[in-house]
């Protein structure tokens, strides 16, 4: 079987993607980019939950108030949020799910119909594909992995969220990132990548590069829902996952070397 046929087989026919030894394609390492669009990190990242519901947040101070929240108040603030028009049409807010000490953060665009029903990101077909993508990286949801979206409420008809909706919801994700302090962020799709990087760019121009969200390496691949609609691009997503895995392996090897070096 040709290599291409083998890849197609892995992508299209198998319900689970599996990286095999010697199968990883080597892609050129891109120069790290610098991101300036993200807000300043708070000093109290990973601060303990306060278990206090915040008082009514003044619109002007809303962003600052969110940046002070622990996990529980943050989740409660999202659950009761009416800061943008998406509140009027949602069934459930979708806060995010996974290991709150995770090294890996995967960020999508927004909830779809099933997520809106269940209140959990990436369920249904796209969720199963994400789980396969995680498996390809040797990971699984909830185990050192956290999954969240740019907007926490479903845009009607699964449309791309409007800029004002993204702007209203962004502080929640930024605070989630501050609390998580992930080691790697993977942006799934253009909305997630552009929002986190604060710069309009095409997915094609961002693939195979390492960016930074503040000090955290950020890499980009396609959104699973897009891949379900555009099967040929699964090959590109596979390449992205290989690239991500290679970079992480390099960083881990570098960290291990640093640890072994005499001080
Ligand atoms: S999308 Fe975000 S900002 Fe808009 S109502 Fe939902 S939680 Fe609030």
Quick check: is 36 in a domain?
Answer: no
Kindly report which listed range (52-61, 65-74, 128-137, 249-258) carries the lowest average pLDDT score.
Answer: 52-61
Cα 93 to ligand 1 centre (Å): 8
Quick check: is 51 in a domain?
Answer: no
* Span 206-234, pLDDT tens digits: 999 999 999 899 999 999 999 999 988 99
Looking up residue 83, the CATH number of its domain turns out to be 3.40.470.10
Residue 70, SS3 per DSSP: coil
pLDDT confidence of residue 34: 33
Cα 70 to ligand 1 centre (Å): 18
The range of the structural domain enclosing residue 173 comes to 58-257
- Ligand 1 binding pocket mutation candidate from 73, 115, 169, 171 (most atoms within 8 A of CB): 169
Cβ–ligand 1 distance for 151 under 6 Å, the answer yes
Domain count, the chain: 1
pLDDT confidence of residue 106: 96
pLDDT confidence of residue 142: 85
Rounded alpha-carbon distances, angstroms, from residue 62 to 56, 74, 83, 187: 9, 12, 10, 25
Quick check: is 87 in a domain?
Answer: yes
Cα 81 to ligand 1 centre (Å): 6
Cβ–ligand 1 distance for 74 under 6 Å, the answer no
Quick check: is 174 in a domain?
Answer: yes
pLDDT confidence of residue 124: 85
Quick check: is 46 in a domain?
Answer: no
Quick check: is 138 in a domain?
Answer: yes
Quick check: is 71 in a domain?
Answer: yes
Q: Which atom of ligand 1 is nearest to the CA of 78?
A: 7
Task: Reply yes or no on whether the pLDDT at 52 is more than 70.
Answer: no
Query: Which residues are paired to 218 by β-bridges?
Result: 185, 211
Contact 192, 105 (CB under 8 A): no
Cα 38 to ligand 1 centre (Å): 19
Cα 170 to ligand 1 centre (Å): 9
Quick check: is 196 in a domain?
Answer: yes
* Span 237-252, pLDDT tens digits: 999 999 998 998 888 8
pTM of the prediction?
A: 0.79
Kindly report which listed range (114-118, 133-137, 170-174) carries the lowest average pLDDT score.
Answer: 133-137
Q: Higher-confidence residue: 29 or 64? A: 64
């Amino acid at each position: 079987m040709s290599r291409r046929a083998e890849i197609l087989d892995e992508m299209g026919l198998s319900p689970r993607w599996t990286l095999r030894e010697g199968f990883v394609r080597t892609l050129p390492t891109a120069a790290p980019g610098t991101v300036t669009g993200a807000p300043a990190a708070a000093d109290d990242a990973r601060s303990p939950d306060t278990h206090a519901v915040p008082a009514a947040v003044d619109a002007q101070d809303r962003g600052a108030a969110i940046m002070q929240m622990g996990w529980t108040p943050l989740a409660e603030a999202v659950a009761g949020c009416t800061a943008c028009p998406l509140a009027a049409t949602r069934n459930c807010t979708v806060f995010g799910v996974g290991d709150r000490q995770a090294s890996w953060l995967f960020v999508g665009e927004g909830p779809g119909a099933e997520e809106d029903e269940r209140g959990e990101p990436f369920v249904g077909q796209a969720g199963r594909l994400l789980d396969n993508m995680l498996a390809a990286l040797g990971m699984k949801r909830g185990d050192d992995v956290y999954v969240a979206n740019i907007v926490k409420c479903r845009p009607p008809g699964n449309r791309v969220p409007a800029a004002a909706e993204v702007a209203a919801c962004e502080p929640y994700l930024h605070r989630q990132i501050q609390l998580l302090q992930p080691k790697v962020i993977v942006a799934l799709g253009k909305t997630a990548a552009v929002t986190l990087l604060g710069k309009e760019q095409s997915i094609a121009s961002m693939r195979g590069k390492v960016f930074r969200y503040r000090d955290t390496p950020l890499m980009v691949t396609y959104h699973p829902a897009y891949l379900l609609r555009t099967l040929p691009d699964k090959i590109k997503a596979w390449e992205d996952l290989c690239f991500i895995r290679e970079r992480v392996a390099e960083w881990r090897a570098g960290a291990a070397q640093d640890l072994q070096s005499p001080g």
